[in-house]
Structure 1
Amino acid sequence: MIADYLRGLLFAYQVLPERDELSARITRHLDRVTTRHLDHAVLLRSYVRWSLLPRARRHQRLRGGGVKHRIRWAYTRINIAADFLTTMAVLGLSLSEVTQHQVDAWLAGNPGTRHEVRDFVVWAHRRHHARGPRRRRPRTASSDLGAHARTAPDHRLPVAPPRRHRLDRLPRSPRRWCSEPSVNAHFEEIRLQGITE
């Protein structure tokens, strides 16, 4: 706290060169967390390096302003990821063995951490460190009927007859849909017969 104040003061008076405070603080916190969780240090470092730091920098560059919110955002995600990995290790599971059931059980005990854990698990899945959650579409009667109709037609279902155009409703100018003159003359003859009858 005092060191940060003095560093800020020395930056303001240009005694020290400017540095990326966001990256420095996140990296310092990561070092503290990885000393407590040595088993998960490699995974946490790559999570911070390839996911948290680029997003924090991008957010800082696009929106500007102070860094405190982004630092707190990153601290929370690092701490939650470390707690999640430690809990799974206590259960005797590596990250690649964790299923949706274990994630749900962890979330039941830690209900306010859904977004942070999701962020870590999605990153781990995309980098092939973990299995992905298996999602199923909810089954509805219409989707079941559509799947059944595509695979095996049911002859008991009523089928509407194919729609046929009535000849008396042909367009006035058949040339719009046929370029053959003899066919056009034939359809014109049929159309006129339908009108006179």
Structure 2
Amino acid sequence: MNNIVLLVVDVQNALIKKHPHNEQKVIENIKKLILTARDNKKEVIYVRHDDGKGTELEQGTDGWQIYNDIAPNSGEFIVEKEYNSAFHRTGLREHLESKEIDTIILVGLQTEYCIDATLKSAFDYGYKIIIPEETNTTFDNEYLSGNKLYEFYNYKIWNKRFANVLSMDDVMKILLDN
């Protein structure tokens, strides 16, 4: 697992300002992972969603910007996307291949949309995917709470099928040991 990357998906102002489930803990955990990855010479890649003109995630608007508390450093790779999957019609796969990445630590928003689509695309391309606990989140909807969506996807859909859902401690060890 020497060729590992931290992929931070759609942690953007407009979404964080709507206060997703477990917001503070998720941001805190993502910050820890980013700092540890950087300190251990692991690449941090950001993904930013553009939902089109007139939307809260319109390119160039404040809502579209990556949330300041976890913002990229100068020179860190940012994938711009218009679809749920960070792989669909972007250069992400080519970038990962050029670096011989085989393992992705995946974090961000929203659990049932862009995280799910990105995870399944990565799985289809043969990447090993690690989901640290309490590092993805979403919002309540008319069917389920943000917490229920988080638990359902992380523990019923993804874990030991498409990815390994691991504790923050285990993921931190992986970043430190590689």
Calculate the TM-score normalised by the size of structure 2. Answer: 0.29
Which structure shows the bigger proportion of residues in helix conformation? 1
* More contact order relative to length (CA 8 Å, sep ≥ 6): 2
Which structure shows the bigger proportion of residues in strand conformation? 2
Calculate the TM-score normalised by the size of structure 1. Answer: 0.27
